[in-house]
A and B are shown apart, each in its own frame.
Chain A
Amino acid sequence: MSFILLVEQTAPETPSANQVVLYPKSDGLLYSKDDAGTETPTAIVVATQAQLEAATTTTVYSSPGRQQFHPSAAKGWCQANTVGAAVVSYNVTSVTDTAVGDADIVWNTDFSSGNYCAVGSPRNDGSLFAAIADTNTTSTQTRIRVFNDGGILSDPSYFMVLAFGDQA
């Protein structure tokens, strides 16, 4: 068995001209410091869920399996028809037809609270418009309500819901 043992350093001295020092730090990353005193991480490190949710560090990198945890990423989305059949979707458990023009999108991974940002729309149905309902929109589901221009709940041919926020 062979290995190179490196001892963690907090702030090693700046090396002489034309030299670089390599050293680990307490965060587990390997750093280099050049002769100008510039410190740089030497490896690509995958960001944790917490790092992505905090969205502050600039020395780790997002991976396809975790990028959805960043605040800028949509946590779930769905296009479904009136009877609840999802055409395309992500992070959806089910679509519930509750009444005319009224449907619940039940999320697979829930939000951490009921305070998140969801938007909804009917798809190209002329005079119809949609709103996210106050009641029955919770950390586990989002209710979309679609109205005609008279303010009466109406079935669209398709509707779409998209949500951003912190997940549980």
Chain B
Amino acid sequence: MKKIIYTRSDGGISVVTPVINTLGESPGFTEQDALERALAKIPLAAINIQVIDPFVVPSDRTFRNAWKQVGATIEQDMPKARTIAQDRIREARTPRFAHWDALWSKAQEDNDAAAMAMIKANRQKLRDAPADARIVNAADETALKAAMQAVIGDLP
């Protein structure tokens, strides 16, 4: 079935899937009927309403909130996608910070200078991770996703 896309006033994109209900529809209710019914209920504030084929909608939702509408297509807003990738890295590093913080307390108690230096370096790596060059330099969604996964995998 066709879908409907439009841009909201906040700049985000909404993807509308018309529905033929499994119960309660009139006999002979068609996909075209469902599409027209859904179009009639699109918000008045919707911008650039387009009817599209389902394959136009990206199947990978990793950076869903960075989608932007260009005509009747959906593209990635790369600055927004980088922000999402950086947020994911921050989420992933949170338990790592807790891990090193616990070891830091132990190293302080033991007055273990070598351990403290190692922990300090690792915590700095965690702080620097969102700004990793692989994230900053990723040219497209695919490269960004791979970079994000690599940075998370490298978190100490």
Interface residues of A (CB under 8 A from B): 78, 80, 82-100, 104, 106, 108, 140-141, 150, 152, 155
Contacts and interface: CB of A to CB of B under 8 A. Distances in A.
B47 to A, nearest CB: 14
Nearest to B3: A84
Contacts, number: 78
Interface in B3-37: 3-4, 8, 12, 14-19, 21-24, 34, 37
Nearest to A92: B19
Interface of B: 3-4, 8, 12, 14-19, 21-24, 34, 37-38, 41, 57, 61, 64-65, 91
A89 B22 CA distance: 6
Specify which of B3, B8, B21, B61 lies most central, judged by the most chain A CB atoms within 10 Å of its CB: B21
The 5 closest A-B pairs by CB, nearest first: A84-B17, A94-B38, A97-B15, A86-B19, A88-B22
Specify which of B16, B19, B57, B91 lies most central, judged by the most chain A CB atoms within 10 Å of its CB: B19
A108 B37 contact: yes
Contacts of B91: 150, 152
Contacts of A152: 91
A88 B22 CA distance: 5
Contacts of A96: 14-17
Chain A at the B interface: SS class: strand
Contacts of B61: 82, 100, 155
A90 B41 contact: no
Nearest to A77: B23
Given A100-B65, A150-B91, A152-B91, A93 B17 contact: no
Contacts of B17: 80, 83-86, 94-97
Contact of B14 (A83, A91, A97, A140): A97
Given A86-B19, A93-B37, A100-B61, 13 more contacts: A82-B61, A83-B57, A87-B22, A89-B19, A89-B21, A91-B24, A94-B34, A95-B16, A96-B17, A98-B12, A106-B41, A108-B21, A141-B41
Specify which of B3, B16, B23, B57 lies most central, judged by the most chain A CB atoms within 10 Å of its CB: B16
B14 A93 contact: no
Contacts of B24: 90-91
